[in-house]
Amino acid sequence: MANYASGKHARAISDRSGMEFPHNEMVREWNGALVHVSEFEPKQPQLEPKPHGADAISLQQVRVARTEPITTVMLPQDPFTTYQAGSGIINVYSPGHGLTNGTTYLFRGAPTTSPGTGTPTNPVFAYGSIPNFDGITGAQITQGSGYAITTGLFKNGLRLSTDYAISNFFFFTVNADTATTGDIKGGGYGCSVGPITITPWLKNLLILLKICSNVNDKTHILKCMKK
């Protein structure tokens, strides 16, 4: 077996800088280059990435999202405005209503309890009547088959369809009545608009809100319904 000299007097040329260094101070890099210890560079860690599993995304205990029940949209006080005398067109103010153009909806009066068999602790749910105004009877507005609405504001014989009007107004035409004066507001407080049929739990919620005279109790009920 061949013997090698110690090289204490030998010189070597660096593959990186081309400079001369003592031979016994030279080292070999991972790529095979012979360099001085002052020039040595370790292998870049990104050239040999360590494998690791995917991030934990799914949860162990999950349940599918519930289907939101269709509910009514609460209307502000006196939301109805007659268009003009002799017309059955009624504009409805409902900020951010989210209703669909051309869809049939039913108007309802304020939630209340029905007389007769109902009691304060076991009330019979009912919707109150909408007050008559400007020649329009509340019974016509709340008729059971509902009305197909048009989003926007009916003004000067045309449908105003700006983003603001479509988001906050809609109008419909009552079947029989016409306005006496025109541009008259009405409807009172507590009216709502929604689908022809609503789910039973909504009725129960409205009953609870009706029989709770304390404002804190009503707030607590609404918080519980959100959970």
Please, are residues 91 and 83 in contact by the beta-carbon 8 Å criterion?
yes
Strands 89-93 and 153-155: unpaired
> Given pLDDT bands bounded at 50, 70 and 90, which one contains residue 75?
very high
Residue 12 makes CB contacts below 8 A (sequence gap 6+) with 20, 21, 22, 23, 26, 34
pTM: 0.60
Residue-wise pLDDT for 155-165, tens only, equals 999 999 999 99
Buried b (16+ CB within 10 A) or exposed e, 132-153: ebbbbbbebbbeeebbebbbbb
Angle at 50 between CA 48 and CA 53, to 5 degrees: 145
- Cβ-in-10-Å burial (0-12, 13-18, 19+) of 119 comes to exposed
Average pLDDT over residues 137-152: 94
Give me the pLDDT at residue 223, please.
Answer: 52
Fold classification of 73-196 (topology level): Elongation Factor Tu (Ef-tu); domain 3 (2.40.30)
Backbone angles phi, psi at 16, to 5 degrees: -95, -55
In the chain, ranges of CATH 2.40.30.20 domains: 73-196
Percent of the chain with pLDDT over 70: 81
User: If you compute the radius of gyration of the chain from its CA atoms, what whole number of angstroms results?
Assistant: 39
Average pLDDT over residues 117-143: 82
